[in-house]
Structure formats: structure tokens, C-alpha cells
Amino acid sequence: QIEEWKKLRGVATTSKDGVHVELAANIGTPNDVAGVLDNGGEGVGLYRTEFLYMGRTELPSEEVQFNAYKTVLEKMEGKPVVVRTLDIGGDKELPYLNLPKEMNPFLGFRAIRLCLEQKDLFRTQLRALLRASVYGSLRIMFPMIATLDEFRAAKAVLLEEQEKLVAEGVQVASDIQLGIMVEIPSTAVLADQFAKEVDFFSIGTNDLIQYTMAADRMNERVSYLYQPYNPAILRLVKMVIDAAHKEGKWAGMCGEMAGDKVAIPLLLGLGLDEFSMSATSILPARSQISKLSKAEMETLAAKALQMRTAEEVVELVRSIGE
């Protein structure tokens, strides 16, 4: 099997009936890029920038960030790189920000909420990203967007920094796609409206599942409710993909679900355009997709959407065999 996977390294990901989807990787540092290329990744679908901010005593400077983003873009040699702006809070803390402890950190002051309040921190990151944009194919993504107002506010800050840089004579790429993570149910439900304003969606199922099921993704006592295959989750995923396509935009997924063997046939059938996963999952996923007919998976997904329980969905997928 490993030999078979190796042969798939340099080829595009295509279903049995000839439909192309993109298999990208999730990374946390520039050092991870080697693994992405080794495993035939067609892009970076999620660069979690939190690690730049962690394990130090103060915020990383614009220069430190610029160098990291530039390195990743250069090493990816023109393949798309989706960089997510800072998603701190929840399970990830930054001691030097001295934020008060919260009762419900996953429902609290985190990610874009923090960036829109601590704008200096946000502006520094955006400037570093914009300056790096000329070294490859950069896409910028905002995490934890719950309302259109948040997206518009974040975009406005980005455009302000872009104008400032251009006025300073700094080169900025003119084709940077701007997207959001869909990981809060309100955003999935209003995806048709978001789709008119964003360039792409990336579905963050790690959080979308916990918020939809009201089951803390870290709490083992409620882990039985953390159900990727629950038809409720599948319907939300479908809403997001359909909304994107209706506006001519693309929809990806960067939660764990995107690399999951049982989920992949369903996601292919639902029309997902980009699957972003850990680098080591890419070749197995490419092999799996090459054996699946997208048209058949559409039928399978339509059935799954009508099931009552996650167990029924799993059984359905298992029934198609390998």
C-alpha cells in the first residue's frame, strides 16, 4: 500500500470519474512545509499562526512574522497557502497578554474577537502577511467569525494596512483571496450571505462540531456527543458548500474530519473543493478518492443527509466497502 501511495505523490487528486479536488495540508510552523511537499500536498489549507505567538514572553515582531510567512510561501513555490490570523484563546493561552480567566473560554474572548479589540496586535500580523504576499500565492483567513459585522470589520483593518503599505511604496500582491473559517453554527446558517462577501470558506469542523452539539471538544465525558457523522453536521456542511458554489466561490475543510476515511466519501459527494489535513493523511486520501466515483458519492451523501443518527451514517458509508 505504501508503494502505491508513493506513486501518487506528484499527481493531482482525481476521483474515479475524473473530478479534481485539492488535497492540502495543515501546518503550524515553516518547518512543516518539507513534510507537505514530501507527501504531495497541493497547497497549505491551514497555517495555524498561533505557534509564532506561543513559547515566548512577548508578541512576535512584524519582522519575525514576515520571515515566517515569506519562508512558507517561498517553499511552497506558488502553490496556494491559506494563513489563518491569530486564533488564541479557548484551549490556547498566551500568558503575556494577561487575559482574565473565563468560565467558558471556548465561548469567550478569543481569535477574531480578541484581534478586533487589540487592533495593534492584529495590524502587525496583517502587515507582515501583506508584505510577504509577493513571495507566493497567499490567502488570508479569519478564524471564529460569528457575524458579517466581524468579517467586515476585519476586512476593513486589512484594507487600511494594505493602503498604508502601498502609500509607503511597499509591494503587495493584488490577488490575495480573503476567506473565513466556518466553525460557528451562525455562520454556517447564514453562509449564503457570507458567500457574497468572502472569496472562500474553510469549514473548521473541530469547533463546528463542538458548538453545534454543545459538547466541549476536550471533555471526555461528553465525547460521545462529539459526532462528525451526525446528519446535523452533514447538513451544515452541505449548506456551506452549496452557498459557496452558488456565488462561484470555493469551499474547503480544515478540521480533522477532512482527512477522515469515513467522512471523505461523504465530503466528496457533498461537493467539497479542498480537503486540508495532516500531511501524512494526504497520500492515503488521494488513493481513496481515486477509487471513488463522485457521482456515486453524491447519491450516498444525499442518503446520509436523510439518516437519523451518526451510527446509521457510518453503516451507510461502510456498506460501500473500500
Nearer to Mg ion, 21 or 141 (CB): 141
Nearer to ligand PEP, 48 or 249 (CB): 48
Taking Cα atoms as reference points, which of 92, 94, 90, 86 lies closest to residue 106?
A: 90
Closest CB 32 distance from Mg ion, rounded Å: 18
Minimal distance, residue 141 CB to ligand PEP, in Å: 10
Q: Is 115 a catalytic residue?
A: no
Q: Which of 145, 154, 254, 272 is catalytic?
A: 254
- Binding at 260: pick from Mg ion, ligand PEP, none (beta carbon under 5-8 Å per type): none
Position among 40, 45, 179, 204 found at the interface with Mg ion (CB under 5 A): 204
Flag whether 39 is marked binding: no
207 makes contact with Mg ion (CB under 5 A): yes
To the nearest 10 degrees (0 to 180), the angle between helices 231-246 and 263-270 is 30
Q: Kindly state whether residue 60 participates in binding Mg ion, applying the rule CB under 5 A.
A: no
Non-local CB neighbours of 94 within 8 Å, separated by 6+ positions: 53, 54, 88
The residues of the shown chain that bind ligand PEP, judged by CB under 6 A, are 46, 48, 87, 183, 204-207, 254-255
Closest CA to 275 of 254, 289, 293: 254
Rounded to whole angstroms, how far apart are CA atoms 200 and 277?
A: 17
**Using CA atoms, how far apart are residues 314 and 63, in angstroms rounded to an integer?**
48
Torsion angle in degrees (nearest 10) through CA of 66, 68, 70, 72: -160
Whether residue 273 is annotated as binding a ligand: the answer is no
206 is in an annotated binding site: yes
On whether the CB atoms of residues 274 and 207 are closer than 8 A, the answer is no
Pick between residue 72 and residue 316 the one whose CB is nearest to ligand PEP: 72
Positions in 161-190 near Mg ion (CB under 5 A): 183
The catalytic residue positions are 254
Query: Which residues line the annotated binding site?
Result: 48, 84, 183, 206-207, 217
